[in-house]
Structure 1
Amino acid sequence: MTTETKSGTHAVILPSADPGWLALRQEAILEPDLPIIDPHHHLWDAPRSPRYLAEELERDARAGHNVIGTIFTDCSEGYRTDGPENLRPVGETEFVTAIADRVAVGAYQPAGLCAGIIGYADLREGAGVRAVLEAHIAAGKGRFKGIRQSTAWDPNPEIRTTIRTPPEGLLRDPTLRAGFACLAPLGLTFDSWVYHHQLGDVADLAAAFPETTIILDHVGGPIGIGPYAGRRDEVFAQWKAGILEVARRPNVSVKLGGLAMRLGGFGFHERPVPPSSEDLAAAWRPYVETCIEAFGPDRAMFESNFPVDQLSCGYAVLWNGFKRLASGASDSEKAALFSRTAARVYGIEHVLN
């Protein structure tokens, strides 16, 4: 389902959980002193549901876990409504920067919220996209770190998780790659959102641009719904092969999360009571452990993907699940997985101090 946003873009209305249902699961916070940088969350206002702005983010960040910083990731919010079409996404960076400025002067705490911003620019502009990237950088006041251009594509129309529906094989498009070449010279990263059967495209892109930092979102998008339902072992095998191929490229890191979306097919949102952190860890362990083994803790980072992943669980329970998944890691490995990898990859080391 889609609707018209205030910025004039069409937003996907994602299914959302009933707050009363989420409240049925309360847990004590595990390892409450462990510093966390949440490297992937969104912010949006009505008519999207649920509303998730600074107040909601601050509420979650202060729910008991030691969240010292976050990275905003693009979601087509706050676009400019006039001016050149290609510059309209800069409005999102302006929107988030205004929130981050309020955070920085103490309106909300902790001050590391929205310490980094990942926006959108259409790399299919080729070399001409540099002007858009420079406008984002100026608008971000030091917080703009890179872009995400979602290229998640599947032939089945039931499999849709993005506002824009990209063509097949977009990461191999020569014009997009001409725009992609503008990122590294400006010190910008690229967040890649693809489905599991597209991981070869990410590996190929990373090999072609070894100087560009690429972050693979949501453990590489294993699908468990639609035509993929009931084929978990088959999909896992294909996904794992793709993950191992991508991990061979040292310029790629991976975000460990996004598995609470409907896409994964775990069905937690359909239960009478929300899952426990033990439930989440048990279901997600094969994916998370495969990624950590392939990439290593220094190229892996846990992410909330809120409020999208709020469909299945609350913020506190989600991070408890991640801590259970990392329970066998050393202190230095936990530091990497929960904060230091994100701080280094996105250049926000200052929030660690």
Structure 2
Amino acid sequence: MPSKLPLRVSLNPDGTPAAPHVLKDNSAWRALLREDIIDPQRPIIDAHHHLWERPGQTYLFPEFIADTKAGHNILASVFVECGAYYRKNGPEMMSRLGEVEFANGMAAIGASQAYGVAQVAAGIVGTADLTYGSAIAELLDAQIATASERFRGVRLITKWDADPPLNNGRYAIPPGLLADVDFRAGFAELASRGLSFDAMIYHHQIPELSNLARAFPNTPIILNHIGGLLSKTRTYLADEAQTNEQWRSALRDLAQCPNVFVKLGGLGMGYLGFGFNKLERPAGSEVLAQAWGPFFEYCIEQFGPERCMFESNFPPDRESVDYHVVWNAFKRIAASYTEAQKHQLFFATAAKVYRLDV
């Protein structure tokens, strides 16, 4: 058994469980902008999205399938854990199995193609509290048994910053968790099962991820949202240029680990400070491409298209952009790449990493 308790749920100052970040219904605002679809025939795997129902925000199969029909050729998607539908009964460690059961049900609906061609949740990334150490094998095996055709790995959000408001995850994450002995004992259970690890961290934690990747070279690691760059947030904005250089330097080193891949997206989340969620009218794809492009292009330069993949990160990113617009922005950013490179970025890398038969 692990030498300490598993991760605690984040608490409010009064001791009650912290509620997930609630996104306002901005559908009327997003509807103010409609664009013609760029390159509508290009096959796409949306490498990262969520399905959930939270107070004031429902984003389940009908909402996602409607987005996939907005004009882009979305053929499949990867569902990534988001704290949805945990089991309420049984051991705490096993409660996360409920989310994989839920996602697999959504995937079965998608596989029927009764509502469209997109294979929703063709790949499923669940979660597991790896600080349970080797005992977490019980949950991993149960998740594989539940969704053997689709279950591909786990994500445990480990982002931490010295500025408390940025620690807005579902768990109280301590600093240095990626090096924790119990965490690594749990992490060691992934490779033998053919499972990957999605890493959601902040930019200053990238060196910790590099250390983890080198310690476990046979485990695929997928860096979420280009590494959680905080250079435009309140804490880091005064040193934006220095922070960006810190991010670039850390990414260069991380790219030397061949088992690491990068998801290009996630910059529409309001707390990252780009400000597109605060505009009177939504920004168009050309404006978004100008703002986000240099960061994505740097990732592609370091890792190569064969290790990068575009992601919608919906619904969190719809705080700033509509689904059809975000994919237009990605296509603008990728315009200068060759056809083979575009295919990697929009389809082939995700298909390879998550072993999707699309």
Match of 2:222, SS state, is: strand
- State the partner residue of 2:150: 143
2:74–2:118 Cα contact (<8 Å) kept: no
Structure 1 residue 9: Cα displacement: 7.6
The correspondence for 2:269, drawn from 231, 245, 261, is 261
- State the partner residue of 2:187: 180
Structure 1 residue 102: Cα displacement: 1.7
The correspondence for 2:140, drawn from 127, 133, 136, is 133
- State the partner residue of 2:281: 273
The correspondence for 1:324, drawn from 320, 332, 336, is 332
Q: Which runs of 4+ in 1 moved over 6 A?
A: none
Structure 1 residue 17: Cα displacement: 5.0
1:16–1:50 Cα contact (<8 Å) kept: yes
TM-score normalised by structure 1 residue count: 0.95
Structure 1 residue 101: Cα displacement: 1.1
Partners of 2:202 and 2:36 in 1: how far apart?
34
2:123–2:354 Cα contact (<8 Å) kept: yes
Partners of 1:35 and 1:144 in 2: how far apart?
22
1:16–1:308 Cα contact (<8 Å) kept: no
Q: How does 1:43-62 map to 2 (within 5 A)?
A: 43-47=51-55, 49-62=56-69
- State the partner residue of 2:344: 336
Match of 1:181, SS state, is: helix
Gap change, CA 1:298 and 1:130, over 3 Å in 2: same
- State the partner residue of 1:310: 318
Structure 1 residue 23: Cα displacement: 0.5
Q: Residue 201 in 1 paired to residue 208 in 2?
A: yes
Q: How does 1:1-353 map to 2 (within 5 A)?
A: 11-16=19-24, 18-47=26-55, 49-223=56-230, 224-348=232-356, 350-351=357-358
TM-score normalised by structure 2 residue count: 0.93
1:118–1:145 Cα contact (<8 Å) kept: yes
Structure 1 residue 112: Cα displacement: 1.2
- State the partner residue of 2:3: none
Unaligned runs of 5+ in 2: 1-9
Partners of 2:250 and 2:204 in 1: how far apart?
8
**What fraction of aligned residue pairs are identical, expressed as a percent?**
44
Amino acid at match of 1:246: L
Amino acid at match of 2:284: S
Structure 1 residue 43: Cα displacement: 0.4
Gap change, CA 1:106 and 1:3, over 3 Å in 2: farther
Partners of 1:126 and 1:72 in 2: how far apart?
25
Partners of 2:244 and 2:168 in 1: how far apart?
19
Partners of 2:90 and 2:129 in 1: how far apart?
16
Length, aligned pairs only: 345
1:124–1:176 Cα contact (<8 Å) kept: yes
Match of 1:234, SS state, is: helix
**Any idea what the Cα deviations from partners look like across 1:218-263, whole Å, max 9, x if unmatched?**
0000012121134321211111111111111000000000011123
Partners of 1:189 and 1:9 in 2: how far apart?
29
Partners of 1:290 and 1:16 in 2: how far apart?
32
Partners of 1:147 and 1:23 in 2: how far apart?
34
**Any idea what the Cα deviations from partners look like across 1:314-344, whole Å, max 9, x if unmatched?**
0000000000000000000000000100000
2:100–2:126 Cα contact (<8 Å) kept: yes
Partners of 1:336 and 1:185 in 2: how far apart?
27
Structure 1 residue 160: Cα displacement: 3.0
Partners of 1:31 and 1:43 in 2: how far apart?
27
1:3–1:13 Cα contact (<8 Å) kept: no
Structure 1 residue 109: Cα displacement: 1.8
**Any idea what the Cα deviations from partners look like across 1:95-127, whole Å, max 9, x if unmatched?**
111111122223322241110110111111111
Amino acid at match of 2:104: T
Structure 1 residue 165: Cα displacement: 2.5
- State the partner residue of 2:5: none
Tell me whether 226-235 or 113-122 shows the greater mean CA deviation.
226-235
